[in-house]
Amino acid sequence: MADTTARRAVLAGVDGSVSALHATRWAAREAGQRHAPLHLLHACALPPLGPHADTGTEAGLLEALVEQGHRWLRQAKAEARDTGGEVKLRTELRVGPAAAELVEESAYALVVVLGSRGLGGFRGMLAGSVSSGVCAHAHGPVVVVRGRLPGKPPPEDGPVVVGVDGSEAGDTAVAFAFEEAAHRRVPLVAVHTWVDLSVAETWSALPFDIDWGAVADDERRLLAERMAGWREKYPDVPVRQEVVRDRPVRGLLACAEEAQLIVVGSRGRHVPRGMGLGSTSQALLHHSGCPVAVVR
């Protein structure tokens, strides 16, 4: 159980994969920038052996898994030291299912950082079950570290991009994005997309007279209003506001081509509470060329 009085840590999930090592480095840098401790966690569990293994065999297998886990944690620790310098660091091994352990610990973390892939899955798979599951159920922000190409390290320069959709989760995402841009001393690009193409096509086929230009002006005004308070709070962060008439995921990916981080809410206006991730966040976890922060 975490010590809740201590300073909240940046929590990274370690599973022996290259992707998790990229995540560990990203987490170490994040901890350094935020003057937070770094917590490296590995979880291991026995496969469902049922009656096919005796207790002695089970104990032996678990011991081997634990030993391997400690080896991976030592490797991740060395990687973190190499990047994060003097950050306060602790490693932890838990016996239990990884996604559940990470979700539980997310309640005490500043942010959870994971690789997009791990040791499992299959070739061509774009995001693993631990990373998607933790994004859907964590108690706080989760960053899934991705590179421009599969298996490559994430980009380290460029702006922070945030998707602004006017929802409550979207506002929390804006707060997180400003903090990240401020720590990294880079500009923030606030992107608001405002039309679903299917709606536009249906409407243009019907005899409605809609002034799309005026709608766009309204959306621009709305974005400016939503951003005004934050810009005052972070006067040193240069902000660019983009209003895009496109589907959210396409608009965000286009604006994030040069970005080092893309920040979205865990669900938008269309996903009811308790239903996990919205489709935009899910699609970004699979297709973004830079780390994705999913914030709730």
Binding residues vs ligand ATP (CB under 6 A): 13-15, 17, 19-20, 23, 41-44, 98, 114-115, 117-121, 128-131
- Sheet hosting strand 89-95, strand order edge to edge: 89-95, 38-44, 9-13, 109-115, 142-145, 292-295, 261-265, 160-163, 188-193, 239-244
Strand residue runs (E) in 61-122: 89-95, 109-115
Strand residue runs (E) in 78-236: 89-95, 109-115, 142-145, 160-163, 188-193
Q: Is 268 in the site for Mg ion (CB under 5 A)?
A: no
Closest distance of CB 168 from ligand ATP, Å: 27
The residue within the footprint of Mg ion, chosen from 120, 150, 151, 229 (CB under 5 A), is 120
Stretch that binds Mg ion, among 31-39, 43-51, 112-120, 186-194 (CB under 5 A): 112-120
Measuring CA to CA, how many Å separate 172 from each of 3, 163, 219, 226, 296? 25, 11, 20, 12, 6
Closest distance of CB 45 from Mg ion, Å: 11
Residue 154 interacts, among ligand ATP, Mg ion, none and using kind-specific CB cut-offs from 5 to 8 Å, with: none
Residue 20 interacts, among Mg ion, ligand ATP, none and using kind-specific CB cut-offs from 5 to 8 Å, with: ligand ATP
Tokens of 61: 């297998």
Closest distance of CB 153 from ligand ATP, Å: 13
Interface with Mg ion (CB under 5 A), residue total: 3
Q: Is 13 in the site for Mg ion (CB under 5 A)?
A: no
Alpha helices, DSSP H, located in 116-167: 129-137
Residue closer to ligand ATP by CB (options 99, 227) is 99
Q: Is 118 in the site for Mg ion (CB under 5 A)?
A: yes
The C-alpha atoms of residue 186 and residue 180 are separated, in whole angstroms, by: 9
CA 259 to the chain's CA centroid: 14
Place of tokens 């973390």: 109
Interhelix angle 98-106/129-137, nearest 10 degrees: 30
Residue closer to ligand ATP by CB (options 85, 150) is 150
Residue 244 interacts, among Mg ion, ligand ATP, none and using kind-specific CB cut-offs from 5 to 8 Å, with: none
Residue closer to Mg ion by CB (options 260, 282) is 282
Position with the least CB separation from Mg ion: 118
Stretch that binds Mg ion, among 19-27, 38-46, 111-119, 216-224 (CB under 5 A): 111-119
- Give the interface with Mg ion as residue ranges (CB under 5 A): 118, 120, 128
